[in-house]
């Protein structure tokens, strides 16, 4: 019988007197001393952020909390209408829709940029890196050939620019996180706009994907940031649904409009 590997987690531990989180005492070091965004940074990186990291990371999280009545909030509200006793089910329903189209495109853009521009090793035999314009052209061409949407570009409402992107990049300039990944994302937007013959500006998820790379965060983390931030917003929507419901009205209106053309067309033997 093979020997089992020991179970281990370095995140947190508890004793009757204390709770440790990544080496910090929860009650004495973190509670009342660390804000929610910095606590999230500690959870995903294992350390507390410095002042610039804190400002940038918190700005990213705030960006992702809220965007109005979108599919995720609709899912949460509709689920709450059917199961008002289970807020967690409503929030979970909203989170399940955070994929490649909504919020989760942050992961796609971060992964795309990280693959195109890996962190340099710094060795003497390091091959020369192509220009950012060349990398951007390659990215756009590859997505066109594979008939894939380029993540992080365009928005159905925010045109010609996404105001969240402008603000995030301004904060990045102020905090020292406006580097090659941001520049590459801007080159991708320019190349895509030229290739497709229409404006395709960087949206918030594209900006955040680039900034995650700038901060040295794995592309795998970026999707999680969207999940944790949007969960806050979904709680707000569920609470509003409880005091100012719209889900049942949406259901009835949708049922009325979607089925009107089918009425009176039964196929059974009694039709």
Residue 122: predicted pLDDT? 47
162 or 119, higher pLDDT? 162
Helix axes 163-175, 51-65, angle to 10 degrees: 170
Q: How confident is the model at residue 91 (pLDDT cuts 50, 70, 90)?
A: very high
State how far the Cα of 251 lies from the Cα of 259, in Å rounded to an integer: 12
Tokens of 160: 């010609």
264 or 139, higher pLDDT? 139
pLDDT tens digits for range 112-148: 999 998 865 544 555 566 799 999 999 999 999 999 9
Q: What is the DSSP string of the chain?
A: -PPPPPP--SSEEE-SS-EEETTEEIIIIITTTS-HHHHHHHHHHSS---HHHHHHHHHHHHHHH--SS-HHHHHHHHHHHH-TT-HHHHHHHHHTT-STTTTTHHHHHHHHHHHHSPPP---TTPPPPPPHHHHHHHHHHHHHHTT-PPTTB--SSS-S--HHHHHHHHHHHHHT--SHHHHHHHHHHHHHHHHHTS---B-HHHHHHHHHHHTT--HHHHHHHHHHHHHHHHHHHHHHHHHS--HHHHHHHHHHHHHGGGTT---STT-
Q: Residue 200 pLDDT > 70, yes or no?
A: yes
Residue 266: predicted pLDDT? 67
What angle (nearest 5°) sits at the alpha carbon of residue 185, between those of residues 181 and 189? 170
- Domains of the chain from N-terminus onward: 14-48 (no CATH), 49-119+130-251 (1.10.230.10)
Q: Residue 151 pLDDT > 70, yes or no?
A: yes
158 or 52, higher pLDDT? 52
Query: How far is C-alpha 247 from the chain's CA centre?
Result: 25
Please give the average per-residue pLDDT across 200-217, as a whole number: 95
Closest residue by Cα to residue 64 from 179, 207, 219, 239: 207
Collect all residues with Cβ–Cβ distance below 8 Å to 152 and sequence separation of at least 6. 105, 106, 108, 109, 112, 185, 188, 202, 203, 205, 206, 207, 209, 210
Please give the average per-residue pLDDT across 33-62, as a whole number: 97
Contact, 106 vs 212, CB < 8 A? yes
Lowest mean pLDDT among 82-86, 124-128, 179-183, 250-254: 124-128
Residue 105: predicted pLDDT? 83
Lowest mean pLDDT among 39-53, 94-108, 175-189: 94-108
Q: How confident is the model at residue 156 (pLDDT cuts 50, 70, 90)?
A: confident
Whose structure tokens read 């509709």? 78
């Amino acid at each position: 019988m093979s020997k089992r590997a020991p179970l281990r987690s370095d995140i947190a531990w508890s004793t009757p007197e204390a709770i440790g989180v990544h080496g910090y005492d929860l009650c004495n070091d973190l509670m009342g001393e660390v804000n929610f965004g910095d606590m999230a940074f500690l959870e995903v990186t294992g350390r507390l952020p410095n002042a610039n990291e804190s400002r940038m990371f918190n700005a990213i999280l705030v960006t992702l909390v809220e965007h109005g009545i979108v599919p995720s909030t609709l899912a949460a509200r509709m689920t709450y209408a059917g199961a008002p006793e289970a807020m967690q089910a409503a929030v979970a329903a909203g989170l399940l829709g955070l994929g490649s189209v909504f919020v989760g495109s942050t992961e796609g853009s971060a992964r795309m940029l990280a693959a195109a521009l890996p962190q340099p090793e710094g060795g003497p035999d390091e091959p020369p890196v192509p220009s950012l314009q060349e990398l951007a052209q390659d990215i756009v061409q590859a997505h066109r050939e594979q008939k894939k949407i380029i993540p992080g570009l365009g928005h159905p409402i925010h045109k010609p620019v996404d105001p969240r992107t402008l603000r995030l990049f301004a904060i990045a300039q102020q905090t020292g996180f406006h580097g090659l990944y941001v520049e590459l994302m801007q080159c991708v937007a320019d190349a895509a706009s030229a290739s497709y013959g229409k404006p395709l500006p960087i949206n918030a998820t594209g900006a955040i994907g680039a900034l995650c790379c700038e901060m040295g965060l794995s592309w795998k983390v970026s999707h999680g940031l969207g999940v944790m931030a949007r969960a806050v917003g979904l709680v707000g929507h569920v609470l509003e649904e409880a005091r100012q419901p719209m889900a049942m009205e949406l259901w009835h209106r949708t049922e009325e409009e979607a089925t009107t053309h089918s009425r009176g067309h039964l196929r059974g033997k009694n039709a």
